[in-house]
Chains A and B, each alone.
Chain A
């Protein structure tokens, strides 16, 4: 009886917490855990051990399953996004770092850096259904919202590989600036934005021609060029602004996605790598690897409102509405 009351009370508490805010999940590479954060109250709710060296993290489109790539366990783990209980493992191949989900949430595309492959996994069957050979050291991966293209960025070959999701064949390779790290489609799937870690640039590609239409050079006054290593990129749904995490430059670039001008550089924690929007796109969350925190950016004013310590080496971030 007492148990029921307590669990009822907990459920009520959970419900009220869920009612007013989204939940942010951050993978902590060094703590072998994920941090669960209430971003509205800017509070670390709890830290949960998940496996060795968690990096890539994403939520299924229905918001029910949380996927975490535990790189040193050579697997991608699935968790119930409410209870955070482990529900399964996916055969990702060796050392999975980043992955992307198809818009319907049925398939997962995983970069296998050491094997120069992209593994396609059927999530429901928990089985690898295809392996696609790509360039050397594939890292960044993205699926277009219209489910037409899967993009793999190979860091050493300096190419973006356009994989047709139906035939699972590479249709085109686009040579880009050195060490492409991350890629992200606009909501209308018309453009692909990719970052080059070594050139310090952001490239905008046209999905139809698969060619670069714009290259944006990131430069911060007083910060030496070698520190400008753009990684994560996120574009808002109306394609008004694109945000780029600039790694050891400790800043997020705010780029006008219509004029391709950098409007602002926002100071965040050290070695900022990945980004995620809040569901209403009023906030942006950044993971700052070396300073062990996440920064919360108000997008209406383009101001960093808070940096919150979450644990050692925050790597990826996913947001549950």
Chain B
């Protein structure tokens, strides 16, 4: 009976998120337009930028578009994670958060459900993006498209957990611009999404170190290797650990007696 409760709650939360996603067609389009602009416009200018060296998992010379694709999948997951965090703040302002929080199930479970819901949406966007990239002649080996699923899920959960953690800090919707400037941009630009590590090292060792330990880099590398049927253990451990850390902190953050809710005057 209890299991059924859990199931019903999760189905409700995931269903609501997916429904919201399907109804907000602009959101779907805009979520795809962002990485596509990067692919078609930004990457096109740097087509031959990487023609000099081969770094794993690649076994031959690649065009920049091919390199940037896993990074753009990471971008989709990152924006999606932050978007769900935004929606949490929105829910809080609108009052539907209160409805969720009075549900007689453990808070961590509700937060996890929320996370799974957000990740499911992100993974769908990623596959839609890969489909368009395929038509643009960015084609990975077919089994790679299956291997990539667990990598996308873990990466999406990790970035979603970071979003949840942030949403426990954000009081109002307007603060999202801050998230953009202080979280999304540094995470994205100081990572291996746009340039390989050896290229970053050429310009700055500090940047190289930051990029190496950036959890977003690790998620991107996990996805990149999986897409080429390879397993990157270091990236898996790092991404998994980052997920547990962010999730733990988010659960504490959403605890009304201990976390950020108290400081915000019980905003939930």
Contact = CB atoms under 8 A, between A and B. Distances in A.
Nearest to B139: A303
B59 A267 contact: no
B61 A304 contact: yes
A307 B48 contact: no
B63 A267 contact: yes
Contacts of A222: 47-48
Interface of chain B: mostly helix, strand, loop or mixed = loop
Interface in A268-321: 268-270, 291, 295-296, 304-307
A11 interface: no
A307 B54 contact: yes
B248 interface: no
A223 interface: yes
B203 interface: no
B12 interface: no
B261 interface: no
B60 A306 contact: yes
B61 A268 contact: yes
A296 B59 CA distance: 10
B62 interface: yes
Contacts of B59: 42, 305-307
- Say which size band chain B's interface belongs to: 10 to 19
Q: Which of B48, B54, B59, B61 has the most CB of A within 10 A?
A: B61
Contact of B48 (A42, A223, A295, A306): A223
A296 B54 CA distance: 14
A250 interface: yes
Contacts of B131: none
A16 B268 CA distance: 71
A268 B60 contact: yes
Interface in A27-63: 42
Nearest to B59: A306
B150 interface: no
Contacts of A296: 60
A291 B60 CA distance: 11
A97 B63 CA distance: 33
A270 B51 contact: yes
A266 to B, nearest CB: 9
A269 B48 contact: no
A306 B228 CA distance: 13
Interface of B: 47-48, 51-52, 54, 59-63
Interface of A: 42, 222-223, 250, 267-270, 291, 295-296, 304-307
6 contacts: A250-B51, A267-B60, A267-B61, A268-B61, A305-B60, A306-B59
Given A267-B61, A267-B62, A291-B52, 4 more contacts: A222-B48, A268-B61, A305-B60, A307-B60
